[in-house]
Chain A
Amino acid sequence: AQSVTQLDSQVPVFEEAPVELRCNYSSSVSVYLFWYVQYPNQGLQLLLKYLSGSTLVKGINGFEAEFNKSQTSFHLRKPSVHISDTAEYFCAVSEGAARSSASKIIFGSGTRLSIRP
């Protein structure tokens, strides 16, 4: 069965510093990987996704993530964060399989990113 682990529940970072949010997954088949962001009092919004092809994926707001199959990781990075990046970030995985399971996405427990001025 697939699962997602976000190793850090909270990450405090100074403004303009780089950040990496870690995500590891477990799955026995091909996977599709996502990062979502949730700003305060809002729903989730897609940041980026990996379906196939290049292992380095670029998303919105200057974020990028690298798919590493051997380490089963999909870490999210940004070279310089801004106060507006304060939010909760969720890593998610979906397996390629029969119709119903391919539609479902499993979410990690989330990482709260707080930016200090």
Chain B
Amino acid sequence: DVKVTQSSRYLVKRTGEKVFLECVQDMDHENMFWYRQDPGLGLRLIYFSYDVKMKEKGDIPEGYSVSREKKERFSLILESASTNQTSMYLCASSPPPQGTVSYEQYFGPGTRLTVT
């Protein structure tokens, strides 16, 4: 079974702090993703990475950065946390597309971040 793990289930940080959210997958997947989930808005893509050191902005990258130094690990960084970044953060991974056929994504359990 694919396993995607996230470093924390719950996190409380203060405004202005630098926050690191870590994600690790054990299936040698090329693609990794960071989403935030808010009630009524579904999942919104923050960043994704299709290879080590490669990244692409998603729909809502402002206020976030990412790092992928190793294939299995994808980190989300909040440079200066703000209260509007309070949310559920979900990490996912997937194999690369075969031609133009996409594969499903495998999700971690999520990190509920509260910024006070």
Which A residues contact B (CB, under 8 angstroms)? 6, 9, 30, 32, 34, 36, 41-46, 49, 51-52, 90, 94-97, 99-100, 102-105, 107-110
CA distance A94 to B103 in the complex (A): 9
Residues in chain B near residue A51, CB distance under 8 A: 101
B50 in the interface, Cβ–Cβ < 8 Å? yes
Q: Find out whether the CB atom of A44 lies under 8 angstroms from the CB atom of B107.
A: yes
Q: Find out whether the CB atom of A99 lies under 8 angstroms from the CB atom of B43.
A: no
Interface centre among B97, B107, B110 (most CB of A within 10 A): B97
A9/B104 contact (C-beta < 8 A), A103-B50, A104-B45 known: no
Chain B interface helix/strand/loop/mixed: strand
Q: Find out whether the CB atom of A99 lies under 8 angstroms from the CB atom of B96.
A: yes
Q: Find out whether the CB atom of A102 lies under 8 angstroms from the CB atom of B42.
A: no
Q: Find out whether the CB atom of A44 lies under 8 angstroms from the CB atom of B102.
A: no
A29 to chain B, nearest CB (A): 9
Residues in chain A near residue B106, CB distance under 8 A: 46
Residues in chain B near residue A41, CB distance under 8 A: 109-110
Q: Find out whether the CB atom of B110 lies under 8 angstroms from the CB atom of A109.
A: no
A34/B104 contact (C-beta < 8 A), A43-B90, A44-B90, A100-B56 known: yes
Q: Find out whether the CB atom of A99 lies under 8 angstroms from the CB atom of B104.
A: no
Q: Find out whether the CB atom of B31 lies under 8 angstroms from the CB atom of A43.
A: no
Q: Which residue of A lies closest to B44 (CB)?
A: A107
CA distance A32 to B104 in the complex (A): 9
A49/B104 contact (C-beta < 8 A), A103-B94, A109-B40 known: yes
Residues in chain B near residue A107, CB distance under 8 A: 35, 42-44
CA distance A102 to B99 in the complex (A): 9
B41 in the interface, Cβ–Cβ < 8 Å? yes
Interface residues of B in 7-46 (CB under 8 A from A): 31, 33, 35, 40-45
